[in-house]
Amino acid sequence: MSRMTAYSNDVHRYVDGDMSAAEGEAFEQLMVAAPELAAQVELLEKQNAAIRASVEAPDMQLLAQMSRAAREPVVAGLWKVAAVLAILMVGFAGGYGASALSRDQAMTAAVGHASAAHSLYSVEVLHPVEVPASEKEHLDKWLSKRLGSAIQAPSMAGSDYKLIGGRLLPSGQRAAALYMYENTEGTRISLYAERRDGRASQTFEYDSLNGVSGVSWGEGEWTYVLVGGDPEVIKRLAFLVSGELT
C-alpha cells in the first residue's frame, strides 16, 4: 500500500480541520518526510479555497432581521406543552440518573424540582419571574419570609449573567425559591434554593438530565441547585454563587 493510500483519510481530515492539535502536528511532521502528502494537502486546500471563493456573501442586514424575528415571543400555548413535558420527563427519569442513587433523597428531589422549574419558567417570555430584579429588596424580604430564613438573591457579579428576578415554588409541604438570571445572549440559568433538615453535603455535584445541566450543593441549612446553560459555565458560576452565599 502506498503512503498516499494509507493516509488518504488523514489528508481530508487535515484540510477540513477534523484533527486534534496533536494529530495535526503529527501529520505535519509526516508531511515533511512525505512530499507527495504535502502536495496533496496543498491541492485540496486550493480546492477548498476555490469552492469558498465561489460562494457569495449573504446580506447581513437581512440575516439580522431574521434573527431579530427569532427572538420575538413564540406562540404562548406551546410553552404550556413544554412545561408539562418537562415535568413528565423529570418524573420518568426518577431523579437524576445513576449518581442519584448514592446521594441523599432530599438533594435528589431538589435537583429534580430545580430542573423542572427551570425548564418551565426559563422559556417564559412575559412572566419568567414573579418579582422582577428591579424590586430586589421586596423580593429578598418576601422570599426570606416565605422560606422561613433570611435569603438574598446572589448578584452573580463577575459573570455576564444578571438577575431577572425570582419566584416562590412549592417543594413538598415547604416553599422553595427560584432566582433567574440572563446573559447578553439571552441564555437563562436558574438558582434554586430550599431549606433542609440537618446538614447538607457541601460537595458540588454535577448532573445532566435531558440536556439540562445542573450543579447542586449544600451550605448550612440550605440546598442550592444551579441549572441551565452550558455545563462548564454552570460549574464555574456555581463556585461564584457559593462564594456569594457563604
Q: What are the residues binding other proteins (CB under 8 A)?
A: 4-5, 8-9, 11-13, 16-18, 36, 39-40, 43-44, 46-48, 50-60, 62-63, 66-67, 69-71, 74, 78, 81-82, 85, 119, 185-188, 208, 210-213, 228-231, 233
Nearest distance from residue 74's CB to other proteins, in Å? 6
Residue 82 or 245 having the CB closest to other proteins: 82
Cα separation, 41 vs 12, in Å, equals 8
Residue 101 or 125 having the CB closest to other proteins: 125
Residue 66 or 157 having the CB closest to other proteins: 66
Residue 6 or 150 having the CB closest to other proteins: 6
Three-state SS for the chain is: CCHHHHCHHHHHHHHCCCCCHHHHHHHHHHHHHCHHHHHHHHHHHHHHHHHHHCCCCCCHHHHHHHHHHHHCCCCHHHHHHHHHHHHHHHHHHCCCCHHHHHCCHHHHHHHHHHHHHHHHHCCCCCCCCCEEHHHHHHHHHHHHHHHCCCCCCCCCECECCEEEEEEEEEECCEEEEEEEEECCCCCEEEEEEEECCCCCCCCCEEEEECCEEEEEEEECCEEEEEECCCHHHHHHHHHHHHHHHC
Nearest distance from residue 31's CB to other proteins, in Å? 13
Nearest distance from residue 60's CB to other proteins, in Å? 7
Nearest distance from residue 136's CB to other proteins, in Å? 24
Residue 99 or 210 having the CB closest to other proteins: 210
Nearest distance from residue 88's CB to other proteins, in Å? 13
Residue 22 or 50 having the CB closest to other proteins: 50
Nearest distance from residue 59's CB to other proteins, in Å? 7
